[in-house]
Homo-oligomer: A and B are copies of this chain.
């Protein structure tokens, strides 16, 4: 079941949200395999049978809960792309980092699920979701790079594939550093003030601009 049952869709909106929010939280905390339907039912103080009535199975619940979450991503991404138009490459890049920060500030649990999914093969929809994320990233960064080259902002001998890869990698990893202490790596952004993280983001962009060599 990839859709919620009619029973669920007819529920009052606030209850629907309460259920899906709790599900996202359960999956974010424990991963897919570790999430417990019993615990979820207890948290919600509703009968376990109802949850299965709504979603058919644990996988079905995950598909619906995470699917709704992914929708949240689409709006801001498109907005960022619009906002970016006409600005310089590196400024767009910096704002992309800030947009990423906004997203995981607004939806930390969705980001946690994504991170757990990265290296945990037992998540349902894993390939589909990760494929979509990658595709969205490429769709976002590739034109940016190509236009940067065309406009003479970027080196003409730059390999676009490699550039997109590096951008994707650093953005993704920077966001991981915000979310997981072991990945902060001396940058000092995990759990830090927003202003500190913003400064680091700007420094990262400058780094990309200049490279390492003297």
Contacts and interface: CB of A to CB of B under 8 A. Distances in A.
Interface stretch (A5-13, A100-108, A148-156): A148-156
A116 B120 contact: yes
Given A33-B33, A119-B119, A186 B165 contact: yes
Given A182-B130, A186-B161, A204 B120 contact: no
Interface of A is mostly: helix
Contacts of A187: 161-162, 165
B165 A185 contact: yes
Interface string A191-214: 000000000100110011111111
Interface of A: 30-31, 33-34, 89-90, 112, 115-116, 118-120, 122, 126-127, 130-131, 134, 137-138, 148, 152-156, 158-159, 161-166, 168-170, 172-173, 177, 180, 182-183, 185-188, 200, 203-204, 207-214
